[in-house]
Structure 1
Amino acid sequence: MGVTYSQFFPPAPALTEENVPSLSGKVFIVTGGASGIGFELAKILFRAAGKVYIAGRSEENARQSITKIQSTAPKHASNGQLEFLYLKLDDLSTIKASVDDFSRKEAKLDVLWNNAGVSLPPLGSTSSQGHELQVATNCLGPYLFTQLLLPKLQAAAQSSAPGSARVVWTSSQMVDLTAPKKDSFMADVITPSKDNQRNYFITKIGNWFLASELAREVAPSGIISVVQNPGNLNTNLLRHVMWMKYMSYPLLHKARKGAYTELWAGLSPDINLESTGCYIIPWGRVHPAPRAELVRALKSSDENGSGLAKQFWDWCESQTIEFR
């Protein structure tokens, strides 16, 4: 209960715009960077002299956000660069073109923040390939995008300190409130539930599964993969269920606070290759005591686990392989 309470009312952040080091020469992608947490994160990275690609489906929104970030930056500061990258996570057929566009411009990628997501759209909403919209946007799209960007992350890892190149996935405090059931989790992934909140919960557990499995895959290359709960925030994530936003409003923090969680996950030297795959909570701390059921789900049967994370990873691979 103490850990859950502390995620509603976290201690002060350790890494903010006030003490982030210079990011000159670093290249970043922030999906969903035109609004909310992603916008606040992009602003911090830009002001620290990083080169930031704001990835999303709307160039107009991204350009407006870029202009706003640039116009509000401190004068005479050593600011970075901001670019737009078209990315439509709910259409797998478009993602390779987005990665190709990025690859023509950049030789490396230091940190990928899989920040974009959708929560509780109208029940029955589907992606271009017919997947339930939340699992498509929150898991399948980011999975494919990340896989295609691995060569650029590996290039960054080869030219920097071990663990500097990272992938940051986005989960939710919901993972602390319930746990996946071995006998039904994958069934609900394949055949979405009529309970839209359960469908959302599956994607947030899925994000930790993907972070954990990717950590196993890329650690030998010097790349870190972690997952984070940015916090309970006042953003557009709940735009489809405004009643829920109004009810929870007293517990919601400003989006900037969530950016501190993501910043710590992507840049903190306190995370290393030995802690890769960990779960990070607001405003930048490793979760001290994840649910035992989740820990078992992350482990293989050889490790006395349920192997659910690997099953979900394999399913994501099977659904995206034709779009490589």
Structure 2
Amino acid sequence: MVSSNCKKEWSTDSIPDLTGRVAIVTGGNTGLGFVTVRELARKGAHVYMLSRTESRALEAIEKIKEELGPDLTPNIDYINFNLLKISSAKGAAEEFLKRETRLDILVNNAGVMATPYEIGPDGIEIQACNGIGHFALTVPLLPLLKETAAKPDSHVRIVNVSSIGYTFARSPDFSSLEAVNQKGRTTMGRYGVSKLMAILFTNELQKRIDESGTKNIFCLSLHPGAASTGVMSNLLQSRPMLAPLVPIASLLWKTPLQGALTQLYAATSPEVEEKNLRAAYLVPIAKTEAKNTLAEDKDGKLGVQFWDLYSDGNLAPLSGSAPNVDYLHRPLVPDLVWKV
């Protein structure tokens, strides 16, 4: 794969002033999400931390306030979000829409990794929720993202955190929920498919946004790199033979701050627009990289198949209801893409 530098030595010092901007970060109470919330808030954004457990989220918010010090008063709020439940994703979006009139940055960061095969509460294989849960959150927010993009001096970003693990995906099939839930794949194979979903969603979402006539919404996916977070430690500790490697491996991993830099770049850097990084795939730190053949999806078939898995109502019986996504089908008249 060929890489090209977006910027050398990019750091949080390069993040522009975000005063007046509103951001959502899923899984923001720990790891890379925690750092992302902290750094966006440091630069003046009003950040919504979406995570499953309120007590942990509130503890994380207090910790961020302590780390930023008395001279800064970060504006951070919590909304409940369970990645494994479509109804929770829809509810989180609805709660946000009640509170805010703009959304500048959406970072779909939450995720589960290397879990044993298990069907979640909505009948979806747990790791597949990495892709489907964020789709269910993002879709209801699209009209507000478009409204924000129409305002003066707006720079709207949708960032889907993927992983180099997407390359583990083999023969992905999104034609039905049964196909997504098939047990034949390995643990990392299922994880790879879920992270491929993030890239395909990014590709297809950017395509549909562009076709709608909206020009200043940029969708990006990325691999954050191996960072010293609970997810990586849990991955090794879940395998007895690898558990002793945790202390050694942790010396080679990036710090959480280093791991979060690429998604912070995607969410905030003016270079994203200057370099027209629409549907770009980034790797550490803040570099573009070519996707493999599956993720490139040149004919768009996989992206449409993933999109239709949810938007055609295939999952509605499992969650009780699905959001109205009729306006997201590619229209004959571009403006209809946003019609509810």
TM, length-normalised to structure 1: 0.85
Q: What percent identity do the matched residue pairs reach?
A: 27
- Measured after TM superposition, the shift of residue 19 of structure 1 is 2.9
Q: What is the aligned partner in structure 2 of residue 155 from structure 1?
A: 147
Q: What is the aligned partner in structure 1 of residue 322 from structure 2?
A: 323
| Alpha-carbon distance in 1 for matches of 2:226, 2:163 | 8
Q: What is the aligned partner in structure 1 of residue 10 from structure 2?
A: 14
1:28-177 paired onto structure 2 within 5 Å: 28-77=23-72, 79-123=73-117, 125-136=118-129, 138-161=130-153, 164-175=155-166, 177=167
Give, as a single letter, the amino acid of the residue that structure 1 aligns with 2:268: L
| Alpha-carbon distance in 2 for matches of 1:218, 1:192 | 34
- Measured after TM superposition, the shift of residue 91 of structure 1 is 1.1
- Measured after TM superposition, the shift of residue 96 of structure 1 is 2.2
SS at match of 2:68: coil
Q: What is the aligned partner in structure 1 of residue 208 from structure 2?
A: 217
Identify unmatched segments of 5+ residues in structure 2.
324-340
Q: 1:103-159: per-residue Cα shift (whole Å, max 9, x none)?
A: 111001101000000001122x221111100102x0111001000111221121111
Q: What is the aligned partner in structure 2 of residue 262 from structure 1?
A: 263
Give, as a single letter, the amino acid of the residue that structure 2 aligns with 1:228: L
| Alpha-carbon distance in 1 for matches of 2:57, 2:227 | 21
| Alpha-carbon distance in 1 for matches of 2:302, 2:183 | 17
Q: Is the 8 A contact 2:7 2:286 kept in 1?
A: no
Distance 1:178 1:13, change over 3 A: farther
Residues matched between the structures, number: 305
SS at match of 1:126: coil
| Alpha-carbon distance in 2 for matches of 1:233, 1:81 | 26
Distance 1:91 1:237, change over 3 A: same
Q: Is the 8 A contact 1:144 1:320 kept in 2?
A: no
| Alpha-carbon distance in 2 for matches of 1:298, 1:134 | 25
| Alpha-carbon distance in 2 for matches of 1:241, 1:188 | 28
Distance 1:217 1:71, change over 3 A: same
Distance 1:179 1:191, change over 3 A: closer
- Measured after TM superposition, the shift of residue 279 of structure 1 is 0.3
Deviates more, 1:81-90 or 1:193-202: 193-202
Q: What is the aligned partner in structure 2 of residue 251 from structure 1?
A: 252
Q: What is the aligned partner in structure 1 of residue 284 from structure 2?
A: 282
TM, length-normalised to structure 2: 0.82
SS at match of 2:47: strand
Identify unmatched segments of 5+ residues in structure 1.
301-306
Deviates more, 1:93-102 or 1:193-202: 93-102
Q: Is the 8 A contact 1:179 1:291 kept in 2?
A: no
Q: What is the aligned partner in structure 2 of residue 299 from structure 1?
A: 299
Q: Is the 8 A contact 1:166 1:266 kept in 2?
A: yes
Distance 1:160 1:13, change over 3 A: farther
- Measured after TM superposition, the shift of residue 241 of structure 1 is 4.2
Q: Is the 8 A contact 2:15 2:269 kept in 1?
A: no
